[in-house]
Structure 1
């Protein structure tokens, strides 16, 4: 069974869907009626702002009709009737839903003819100068229009100008008396000056042609300021574009000019409380959307009568007239049109704010993601460090176990060799003693020099064999169980050289010993001898494959509390790519059955137990191993 709640939700959804479809299918026809000509900077700015903001707010279809009345050049009752006939013909088959007017002429025309021509459509006006008794009475009777009244804020503009020019004694007011707008502004100036009770002399420039005004502007005194109202038509009936007029006037004016319309900025005025067409367009777009969307009736949308203008000053003109920026009124804005960035910012301020807000949000999200990424990386790094630490511990322990195992194996081998060496020594020492005694008797009983010489050789050979056996017995002992004592370093060296002498001689290897007999060290003579034997054997294995000079040097140098012992050979050297591995257990470069790869590892262990260092001297051009032992002074 389908519940009543589910049916209700379905009905509501279908209602909103149908409503949106109906609204989307409806197209509103909007007539935009401009008082001035196409291309007028004020009109174009207001029109583009209105369309932009309305399109951005709306979710319905619209069709625009735009008419430019060009009332600055053409005006009067007869002209109105001609336009009325033209528009009646053009729009007779159209149902106008909304009329949008800019400035007074278009508003007055629309009020007069909307019932006759425009289907009595509601009106939203903008730029109407003032809100006099006629418009108030009209609003009470018809109430089918609303809009934004254009205000000319004379008082804040004049106050700001006097603050920036405190020595001013004259105020020139350039404002035509030959247009309705000019005559309206004249009243605004007079009323404002009366309220302000100004002490400065007021001089109206209103009944001249433009060439005369340009000439007068060249002679404006240093103690004067200039206000520009409007001068679209001069005494000769000549019409002037707003921006063209103020540009020419600013070029020749000796004093700063202040105005009331944003279009004059970047054309020569210093600034003022200016009307901004983009703001007026935005406001009438809001009103149009409230009406077209069905949110409000035209009569429910309040008029905007109070000023929505801003105090704005042109930085370039302030610099031109050497006006201190610190004298500007509070809450005023400074813009610069000479900088493309400032101009872009001024024209697209709201869009830039949206972009900036989005950028800030992206930055916030980026830093949040970066924070969590760093956290994740930190955790990952911590985990990797722990893992590496464990791996190092396992590796170190493995190396330690391997070393211990190798030492045990080596010790077992040495014990076996020691036992065998002891047995051999016992069996050989007795015959050697008899041979030695016999050689001595022969040399004592004979008178022949040759026999004495040969007997001496026999005695020396017996002594040498005895020394080799003694060294073999010494080296075959378990070094780990040997005691640390003070001994002469030369003893360990001799134990080793006695075993290697013949091998070196047979292979033409020169063996140099540079060890002072007075050097006494503290440690295990067996372990030191084993280290020396291992290093010398490594050098020997390298040199038998070398052609040319074959030499091994054993050198000992006392340094403070240590003795530095080095074994250097003239071999081919150790390649850089394996230098870091040579101390590792079981690593060897020797041929099979020539080495176990434990020699250097065990040697390093022995030296470190003595409190010394064992390393390869990589700065030497030859293969040079170095180890240090505490020195007994």
Structure 2
């Protein structure tokens, strides 16, 4: 809340500095020299002194001394002449008389000028409703809290016999009398209350001087005595104080310093502060109708140190939040903050010295522990079989474990200062550098694969697990990499792939038999024909040449079939970009005729043209296609051909944003929904003589080795295998 007020104040200062002059009229009900009035003026002037463009005009009505309709009429005529050539942006009405005067004469003197009041006792809404003035008026209500003051007196003086209330018959005094009549009966059972407002000053002084020690005074107002003699606020109190030997309590803060102990007092300064803030809002453009009346009077518990001491009252026993005035000079009290800071500083220094000594001892111990821990970590890292290295943000190696140094055939000290380009082939080093740059920006982790060729002709495969590490100060220190040697796993997967290929060899041999059947028949016929020609002595040179040419065509065809078979069995060693159509054509060459003679129609649909490519392992990819087509063929033969129905295998090839897609659809009947989610698991099979590795290896090849995706689903009575494979390097 304080921050908001400060920001509002600064904003107001800035806005006012940019705007033209503002005219403010402060109309006081009472006279200059009356402390209540002077304190309100001081508070308003203090709040306005920051604004050089606010011109404050202060007028005093002096209604403590004279207050009647004729006097108000004369004031109206005076102000009409005085302000006929002046226009005010806002008017402040201090106390009831000023507000009542403005309600009566505002339209004639200051038409449509907003009015903000302060110090208004016993506020009545009917007052500002008069003459349609409600839309021009807001302000701060002054409200004396008689009940809490009675309760305070009762707490401080539990043995009190009598409370004497001193008041006058002024307008305010009469209003106070009405309020006192409502409060007094509530305390009759605690002490006697005597109300005095019709004595001469001399009689009053004599009466007060004869009170007993179990009496207290509540000084309300006394500007006129019974004879009509006028007294200033401090004259009347000083007269009473000079003859009183009992404590005197008050209701307004301007009686402090003149003999009252204090109480829950109505504060002129608080009234002035509150109304001046409202004025600034109006001058800043806020409508008067948007400023609500402050109905809770900003009263405070305020006490005079001298009076408390005189009557030996420890006010902190009765009130929690209060203000003490007139405290005697105390170096500690005056410079309390400085003294406390000095003492606190000295204590801090002592504590710091103790802590520093303890810290030195602790650091020595920590250094020993850290040295032991570093030695332990060093041994621990060297014991780990995985190769580990770590480098800074510039990409330079700052250390490694023994396994990495041995892998690179270097000493650990020789690793320091080098970069990835010193250890890995250029393309691998570039790829790893890009990964490192990305990690340093995202602060995430990364896993990638790498194959390294060593001088002994061996190839090793690694998974690189990388993460960013931070220094103790929170800044990024660099990257740690743990190299997991997966050579054995890769070889094992390759073995399974080859095993899967061998599992297909039965179908492959049958396919080759189909492929060779026709050319063998053709060769047999040609041999018989040339033998017959030879026996009949009809053999000619041209026939021999023709026989040789025709035979070579058939032999080359059979040789091509063997080459396709041999290429299929040969494992791919690295990823390449190859056409999808080429792979499918080669598969079709191997098993196409067998599929055809099985009464199955196999159709290829190139939806986006025939030039789509795949980035991956070519022979392994062909193995996946062969496995899926063979499975479809087998299922069709088992289910559909029993009914002498022709089967269909549809292969759709299409392109998407990041992948090329191949769909292999067969109508050999759907897969049981209970097992469809398990068909890619290793060694899962529904065939009597199946190995359960065909579809598992298909998933390994597509997803692990080629970073693609393979899925299966049933559509009606058909099965759709969908393969998505990347068409460019990742």
TM-score (ref. length: structure 1): 0.49
Larger Rg: 1
**Bigger relative contact order, structure 1 or 2 (CA pairs below 8 A, ≥6 apart):** 1
TM-score (ref. length: structure 2): 0.43
